[in-house]
Structure 1
Amino acid sequence: MSGFKANFMWGGAVAAHQLEGGWQEGGKGISVADVMTAGAHGVPREITDGVIAGKNYPNHEAIDFYHRYKDDIKLFAEMGFKCFRTSIAWTRIFPQGDELQPNEAGLQFYDALFDECLKYGIEPVITLSHFEMPYHLVTEYGGWRNRKLIDFFVRFAKVVFTRYQHKVKYWMTFNEINNQANYHEDFAPFTNSGLKYLPGEDREPVMYQAAHYELVASALAVKAAREINPALQVGCMIAMCPIYPLTCAPDDMMMAMNAMHRRYWFTDVHVRGKYPQHILNYFARRGFALDITDEDRAALLQGCVDYIGFSYYMSFATKATADNPQLDYDETKSLVSNPYVQKSDWGWQIDPVGLRYSLNWFWDHYQLPLFIVENGFGAIDIQQGDGSVDDRYRIDYLAAHIREMKKAVVEDGVDLMGYTPWGCIDLVSAGTGEMKKRYGFIYVDKNNDGSGTLARHPKKSFAWYQNVIKKQRRKYLRFNTLLFSPAICAGRVLYSFSRRMSLWLIHVKHTLCCAREEKRYNPAIFLWLPLV
């Protein structure tokens, strides 16, 4: 077997709010990302009440992809990208989110962007909501705690599905929808769902209610896509961090199982169209009375996704503790350090084997095509005087993950659609708002304080990834050239002929034996024997 299939989508991934900039251009409205200040490792980003003068909002300019996308897409094409994953900024299409008519200038920008991708044979892979919902929907409606947002999102989805149906085949609804399972901190609930909790409010049921409305909106969007154009493929997007038991103690095993239940039940709803019983039992045990209607249940069943997109950066570990006899998973309390893996400068556990495990976990549970739409290594890159960046640590990280990815495909039989490493060009970190936490194959001259020329420089990993894509393509071509070469084809013909001759001789022998037993012999039997 050659490895990855012929139409395997090698590419890269970004999000609109982390690279576009142009935050007030083309009629764009304010998004939740536009009111988040710069932070740092260990220093959380501040969520401000609107845009405040004098604050540093790194997403406002980002890396100015809005004006430089043609040059950047050309660089992606040089690397050999077969696809490019980005998102459509909801606020470019519906600046406030609740308008009845879309913003034509925003639609035209994405027309131009997708046309530029297609010019180079690069397939756009598009996320509808990637941490950039309209801020107006937060201030006026309370974010996704309000059922009205379902209609606003579906209107947005229908507009872009219709507009780009002949340019974009692959879509995803909500980016890393399950990140908000960490409801104790402010970042994920705000970026995922536009949630700003009230003082003393019980956060957990609010998060589950918001997630339910998002899941219904996702299902209705999937249904709409199929009605607009049955060729469209719509997937979900899950943040995958497999959670291992720290030891083989039975309680640690159960703790890990409960943790996986609590983080990944979202996938069951996306794929199967209904809530798994374990999470319904948990809601009942906690006394959560969620607004889930019969119409919602019907919508979920009618809008199951076509594939599972997921991010993978690291694995987690957990263990049971005496103060948690129910073995309930809490992301702020239940995680422990894994002594068997190394960590990045930002404390992320580096575990390539965990990617293979994750692929098998998803495949065993759901048997849907999988798509790794984020995987990468954030690090501090040092640019030399000649503009070069020797990021072999990134190469080592990605190469190890690609090896495990290939094992999952070739040895384990996982159906994998493609691989788009995160931050294929340096961009603003969503979690910290930094520029110095770099992921890209392309260095962007910009610093945390906003200074820099924004000039682009390919890193060492640029040529490496370019070669990875070329080599995989050559392997496939060599395999198929061998498979269909004249020598192989001639061998097949000879094998087929010899096999037919063997069967013919066996039949002759059998016929003669029968004739001998019946004491009759007629040479005419040979007239039809060659037909067998």
Structure 2
Amino acid sequence: MKIAIPENFIIGAASSAWQTEGWHGKKDGQDSFLDSWYKEETFVWHNGYGPAVATNFMEKYQDDVDLMKEIHLTHYRTSINWARFFTDYENLVVDEEYAQHISDMVDALLAAGVEPMLCLEHYELPSYLMEKYDGWSSKKVVELYAEYARIAFERYGDRVKHWFTFNEPIVVQTRCYLDAVRWPHEQNTKKWMLWNYHKVLATAKAVAIYHAGNYGGRIGCVLNPEMVYPRSNSAEDQKAAEMYDLFFNRVYFDPMVNGVYPQKLIELCQEHEIYFDPTPEELAIIKENTVDFLGVNQYYPKRVRAPRYQWNPEMPFHPEMYYEVFDLPGKKMNNSRGWEIYPQIMYDMAMYLKNNYHNIPWLVTENGMGRENEENYQNEQGMVEDDYRIDFISQHLRYLLKAVADGANCEGYMLWAFTDCVSPMNAFKNRYGLVRIELNEERTRSLKKSAYWYRSLIDDRILEAEEEKLYR
């Protein structure tokens, strides 16, 4: 079937600073949290690849911009690396060399007809602030972040009209302090919730600064909600899904979009002694400075059921007390990544936002397919024939466009990623890009089959996708 893509519907791509830049030109003391993790636990990164070289975007960004122009890309989202933006984080001394790189990149994008979208923090918290203030545990870091945002807006707000405060603000503390599966492996549920709260507060402060500056653009946050599906229609399974949604989705959606925290979440945090103890002044800042729009990253569904076993009272509190992950038999899988493929999440998430958050403007800021051993799909000319990626995008975009037709206020789709890039631990094991990156010294680039197909979407505004798939 052929589906018309609305003319104003964005078809773009995304990446981040730390996953592409490499360390070229980085100065002593400018490590981010990701840099420190890589140095501490290089062995957990696939084949030892990490942010040290990445795709060498610092030197090769013009090559990538030229490829964007060749593909006719109209929008590109990336981040400013907070850890590299300053040489002194407390006195806010800007690294002028790095700041000029960001400015040059923005100018290059605009010259190529590509609208830049900038995120202020894509896991790039400076290690200095981790070591001195325990990162987002401290309100001092909230204040320093707000001043960083002010400087970034002053420098680039004349040209950049789409801003995001964070990318996936829940992820780092969930991996490090809730589940303790990543360095520094500290299990601390109260810290997990405090970091969540301080990122909400930091967002509100950045929103206030941006609006006061009258920059003529808009500011939001990139969240990664998981569309939650209960195992069955039983009251117990339904409650499990509601609790997961509360702790992992609404913990950001409600304060950032509606300006207030869910009362049920507050009560549970107090009951389990993980409450973040906000002041009335802070809650007022959050209420008065909600986001203009949202970025939403979507990859896979979350399936849960009522827990079958009593929670061990000697374990620290974890929201898993209220739910258990459900493994759906027969689900379609991306076996390279270990993720379920369920394109209907696009439609269901769109309706979730439409029905619960006054149909706020939003766009898909990440969706994509990581695939292992893509060199096996190279043809005689060396081009990767990634038909699996084309099918993946087609099916997800089909559901998203159906949601738009049904009234969802979704403005576009941003593929993850424009080029292959480094991912946490995964490194280059799974490839996501329209552009292939060879792991040679030059980091040679080449377009995959999907890049030419993506260009046809942008130019022709027609999606050809099968009407039905055997997704459950």
Whether TM exceeds 0.5 here: the answer is yes
Q: How does 1:64-75 map to 2 (within 5 A)?
A: 64-75=56-67
- 2:410 and 2:81 map into 1 onto residues whose CA distance is 27
Change (3 A) 1:64 1:406: same
Does 1:337 pair with 2:337?
no
Match in the other structure for 2:248: 263
- Contact 1:316/1:338 (<8 A) preserved: no
1:363·1:370 contact (CA, 8 Å) conserved in 2? no
1:133-183: CA deviation from partner (whole Å, max 9, x where unpaired): 111111111111111001110011000111111110001111112334454
Q: Give the Cα separation in 1 of the matches to 2:257 and 2:303.
A: 26
Residue 241 of structure 2 is aligned to residue 251 of structure 1 = no
Please state how far the C-alpha of 1:247 moved relative to its aligned partner. 1.7
The alpha carbon displacement at 1:60 in A equals 1.1
Q: Counterpart of 1:31 in structure 2: which amino acid?
A: S
Is 2:345 the partner of 1:354? yes
How many Å separate the matches in 2 of 1:428 and 1:333? 32
Conserved 8 A contact 1:259-1:328: no
Written as runs of structure 1 = structure 2, the 5 A alignment for 1:470-509 is: 470-472=459-461
1:247-326 matches, within 5 Å, as 247-265=232-250, 266-324=252-310
Aligned partners of 1:385 and 1:186: how far apart in 2? 45
Determine whether 1:364 maps to 2:349.
no
* 1:302 Cα deviation from its structure 2 partner: 2.0
Q: Which amino acid aligns with 2:404?
A: V
2:97 aligns with 105
Give the alignment partner of residue 440 of structure 1, picking from 424, 433, 450. 433
Q: How much has 1:5 moved relative to structure 2?
A: 4.0
Alignment partners' CA distance in 1, 2:113 and 2:413: 16
3-state SS of 1:292 partner:
coil
Once the 2 structures are TM-superposed, how far is the Cα of residue 308 of structure 1 from its aligned partner? Answer: 1.4
One-letter amino acid matched to 1:359:
A
Question: Higher relative CO (CA 8 A, sep ≥ 6), structure 1 or 2?
Answer: 2
SS of residue in 1 equivalent to 2:452: helix
Alignment of 1:346-495 (within 5 A): 346-366=337-357, 367-380=359-372, 381-382=374-375, 383-384=378-379, 386-410=381-405, 412-430=406-424, 432-446=425-439, 451=440, 453-472=442-461
Residue pair 1:255, 1:329 contacting (<8 A) in 2 also? no
Question: Cα offset for 1:45?
Answer: 4.6
1:238 and 2:223 equivalent?
Answer: yes
Contact 2:306 2:322 (8 Å CA) reproduced: no
Letter in 1 for 2:23: G
* Aligned 8 A contact 1:84 1:123 in 2: yes
Q: Secondary structure at the match of 2:389?
A: helix
AA matched with 2:411? M
The 3-state SS of whatever aligns with 1:148 is helix
Mapped to 2, the partners of 1:429 and 1:232 lie a distance apart of: 30
Q: 3-state DSSP class of the match of 1:177?
A: coil
Cα deviation for residue 26 of structure 1 reads: 6.9
Are 1:38 and 1:57, in contact at CA under 8 Å, matched by a contact in 2? no
CA contact (8 A) 1:371 1:418 kept: yes
Mapping 1:23-38, distance limit 5 Å? 23-25=24-26, 29-37=30-38
Q: For residues 196-247 of structure 1, give each alpha carbon's deviation from its aligned partner in whole angstroms, at most 9, with x where no partner exists.
A: 465xx6x111111122111111100001001112522111111122110112
In 2, are the aligned partners of 1:85 and 1:125 still within 8 Å (CA)? yes
Distance 2:137 2:14 in 1: 29
- Indicate if the aligned counterparts of 2:363 and 2:410 stay in contact, CA closer than 8 A: yes
1:232-279 CA distance string (max 9 Å, x none): 211111112211011222211111111111111211111112211111
What is the rounded CA distance, in whole Å, between the counterparts of 2:449 and 2:158 in structure 1?
Answer: 36
Match of 1:515 in 2: none
Structure 2 Cα separation of the partners of residues 378 and 108 of structure 1: 32
Q: Is the 8 A contact 1:376 1:439 kept in 2?
A: yes
The aligned amino acid for 1:418 is G
Q: Closer, same or farther in 2 for the Cα pair 1:302/1:178, shift >3 Å?
A: same
Name the counterpart of 2:140.
Answer: 148
Cα distance between partner residues in 2 of 1:331 and 1:343: 27
Query: Percent identity, aligned pairs only?
Result: 28
- Quick one: which of 204, 208, 213 aligns to 1:219? 204
The reply to whether residue 165 of structure 1 matches residue 157 of structure 2 is yes
Distance across 1 between alignment mates of 2:255 and 2:48: 39
Letter in 1 for 2:394: A
For the 8 Å contact 1:30–1:96, the answer to whether it is kept is no
Residue aligned with 2:100, SS = helix
> In the TM superposition, what whole-angstrom CA distance separates every residue of 1:403-427 from its partner, at most 9, and x where no partner exists?
11110001x1111122111111001
Please give the secondary structure, in 2, of the residue aligned with 1:19. Answer: coil
1:328, distance to aligned residue in structure 2 (A): 7.9
Distance 1:309 1:140, change over 3 A: same
Deviation at 1:315, TM superposition (A): 0.4
How far has the Cα of 1:324 moved from its partner? 4.7
Query: Structure 1 residues 474, 255: CA separation in 2 closer, same or farther (over 3 Å shift)?
Result: closer
- How has the CA–CA distance of structure 1 residues 28 and 355 changed in structure 2, closer, same or farther, with 3 Å as cutoff? farther
**Structure that is richer in strand per residue:** 2
**Residues 17, 57 of structure 1: alpha-carbon distance in 2 compared, 3 angstrom cutoff:** same
Equivalent AA in structure 1 for residue 93 of structure 2: Q
For residues 44 and 337 of structure 2, the distance between their equivalents in structure 1, rounded to whole angstroms, comes to 13
Report the secondary structure of 1:226's partner residue: helix
Moved more, 334-343 or 205-214: 334-343
Using the size of structure 2 for normalisation, the TM-score is 0.89
TM-score (norm. length: structure 1): 0.79
**Structure 1: which amino acid aligns with 2:432?**
Y
- Residue 361 of structure 1 aligns with an amino acid whose one-letter code is Y
Residue type matched to 1:363 in 2? K
